Structure 1
Amino acid sequence: MKKSSAVTTPTFLFLCLLLLLPLLARSNDDLIDKICQATPFCDLCEASLRPLSPSPSDPKSLASAMANVVLGNLTDTLGYIQSLIKHTHEPAAERALAQCAELYRPVVKFNIPQAIDAMRRGQFGFATYVLGDAEKQTDSCQKGINSTGANDESAVAITARNKQVKNLCDVAISVLKSLMNGR
């Protein structure tokens, strides 16, 4: 029986894929670099998108991934606010937190999911509007927190979370604008 030194087709394809994989991954990194460079918070954009698996491979999936990051942060912040409400005994702080929860709840449950769905349909203008509205809700929440005059640990934490959500919204809006401008 004669041994064949020829590489089988499946083995050849596997080897080609192994060689191309780093190039494909770099292509996604280049896209993330390009899109994130055009945002107001490049580091935040990259920190939000790079860990995703699978890595977004086109501008539309990058925008959707960024909106999902916004949704995750909003959801987490809403949960944090709700836990603070349960443990707050100061009436003014409780009112401000309840106002924040009321502002965040529809954004988390309806608005951002609608924006993500709109992106899938190519309605980037609507998605941009919704993300801008979410940003305004964080501003309103923060005004309520500031009006209590509280400077305790929970007020500082809410302020940091509101700022993070606002910055993520700015990044997502910037990604969408890049997509609408064909970049």
Structure 2
Amino acid sequence: MKRSSSTITSLPCLSLFLLLLLPSVYSDDDLIDKICQATPFCDLCEASLRPLSPSPSDPKSLAAAMASVVLGNMTDTLGYIQSLIRHSHDPAAERALAQCAELYRPVVKFNIPQAMEAMRRGKFGLAIYVLGDAEKQTDSCQKGITNAGADDESSVALTARNKLVKNLCDVAMSVIKSLLNGL
């Protein structure tokens, strides 16, 4: 009797039972599901990783992809901050925005690329540390904006961007921790 390997329904019950007992080989989607479930913001994790092409196929490439998403969002936010500075007419808001730019600039140019390089070298603890520092910089930026008393539409948008970057950093650190825990 010739068995087709293309469908599970053609397998005898015993073979199906053994197949279920064997260690699973996860598809890319299963891996993304599994790792994102372990993060504090599962939906954000999945929304960040699923559209990537090619899809990351192992935990290390997922971690690198998340760091890349963090870098992209921080770069966009820095550009947004610089745009707000150019159009600001409020000296207190302008100072707070300039402080944000000073906080974001080294993270975008040096820190996140350093975290990505650390992951390539297998130094995941350093990558987590650097991403945690990036998260702290977004907090400092937000405190400066809040203390300046800015409550216009652009500061609300910057607050949303800071929150997104902070959450992305949390997700990236969680993905790296999953990698360290053998997922």
TM-score tier by shorter-chain length is: 0.7 to 0.9
Indicate yes or no: 2:163 matched with 1:163.
Answer: yes
Indicate yes or no: 2:142 matched with 1:120.
Answer: no
Correspondence for 1:82: 82
* Correspondences of 1:47-86 after superposition (within 5 Å): 47-86=47-86
Shift in Å, 1:157: 0.5
Q: Partners in 2 of 1:61 and 1:71 — Cα distance?
A: 15
* Correspondences of 1:1-150 after superposition (within 5 Å): 27-150=27-150
Q: Partners in 1 of 2:103 and 2:149 — Cα distance?
A: 20
For these two proteins, the number of residue pairs brought into alignment is 158
Shift in Å, 1:150: 1.4
Q: Partners in 2 of 1:123 and 1:165 — Cα distance?
A: 22
Q: Partners in 1 of 2:97 and 2:161 — Cα distance?
A: 13
Q: Partners in 1 of 2:153 and 2:36 — Cα distance?
A: 32
Q: Partners in 1 of 2:150 and 2:116 — Cα distance?
A: 35
Q: Partners in 2 of 1:42 and 1:99 — Cα distance?
A: 31
- What is the TM-score when the length of structure 1 is the normalising length? 0.85
- What is the TM-score when the length of structure 2 is the normalising length? 0.85
Consecutive unaligned residues of structure 2, counting only runs of 5 or more, are: 1-25
Q: What letter corresponds to residue 73 of structure 1 in structure 2?
A: N
Consecutive unaligned residues of structure 1, counting only runs of 5 or more, are: 1-25
Does the residue aligned with 1:179 lie in a helix, a strand or coil? helix
Q: What letter corresponds to residue 109 of structure 1 in structure 2?
A: K
Correspondence for 2:19: none
Q: What letter corresponds to residue 154 of structure 2 in structure 1?
A: S
Deviation per CA, 1:77-129: give whole Å up to 9, x if none.
00000000000010000000000000000000000001001101110000000
Q: Partners in 1 of 2:27 and 2:182 — Cα distance?
A: 18
Does the residue aligned with 1:79 lie in a helix, a strand or coil? helix
Shift in Å, 1:148: 1.1
**Root mean square deviation, CA, Å:** 0.7
Q: Partners in 2 of 1:136 and 1:150 — Cα distance?
A: 20
Deviation per CA, 1:46-100: give whole Å up to 9, x if none.
0000000000000000000000000000000000000000000100000000000
Does the residue aligned with 1:122 lie in a helix, a strand or coil? coil
Correspondence for 1:14: none
